[in-house]
Chain A
């Protein structure tokens, strides 16, 4: 299985600021995704991080708010821009590994004050 790490593991931020979350995988993967998990809720897909091209966003998520980079097959970043308290969530990256199994990182716990 793929080993995924995320930085930071948690953060407390002031409204109006931005935070960039990093996702690192221990092997090259084709498919990488970013999800959001609001407090006490399930996971919602934000976007697909495409290597070498712009990310593909799901309905309700836009690039200006959640810019994503994917410079290579092992790394991606998600930025949460101009944060408000409603952005307080767990942000998770995931990858599709062998046998098409999707693995998740440990998550970044964000609290916006």
Chain B
């Protein structure tokens, strides 16, 4: 069945460095992936998404890469700032059937930005 998992539970990054958060998925037919940021005491905040017809998508200081060959996606944060400290989740959207919109979340990666 479908599954989404993260490689590292905690990532410690020095301020100003780039962060890379990884995520693996098992269903080769999956076609839509989303990254969320969750700060303490808040709900998940949409960061960026990518569809399976793309390999890369860029936003403000963030880039998502999708490697369909190995079923892997990553989130890169450039010049990490203290405000980037949070838990980051990748989520897989249901295939274009009656499961569309039903997100399946990975375990999450805690990013800790150190001065």
On A, residues with C-beta under 8 Å from B are 1, 4, 31, 33, 35, 41-45, 48, 58, 92, 94, 96, 100-107, 109
Contact = CB atoms under 8 A, between A and B. Distances in A.
Contacts of A109: 41
Contact of B89 (A42, A48, A103): A42
Contacts of B45: 104
B39 to A, nearest CB: 11
A45 B102 contact: yes
Contact of A102 (B41, B103, B106, B107): B103
A45 B106 CA distance: 12
A43 to B, nearest CB: 5
Given A42-B89, A42-B108, A43-B89, A103 B102 contact: no
Q: Which 5 A-B pairs rank lowest in CB-CB distance, beginning with the nearest?
A: A104-B43, A42-B105, A43-B105, A104-B44, A107-B43
Nearest to B89: A42
Nearest to B45: A104
A102 B105 contact: no
A44 B89 CA distance: 12
Contacts of A102: 34, 46, 93, 101, 103
A33 B108 contact: no
A43 B102 contact: no
B42 interface: yes
A42 B103 CA distance: 11
Nearest to B98: A56
Given A41-B108, A100-B32, 5 more contacts: A43-B103, A102-B34, A102-B93, A104-B44, A106-B43
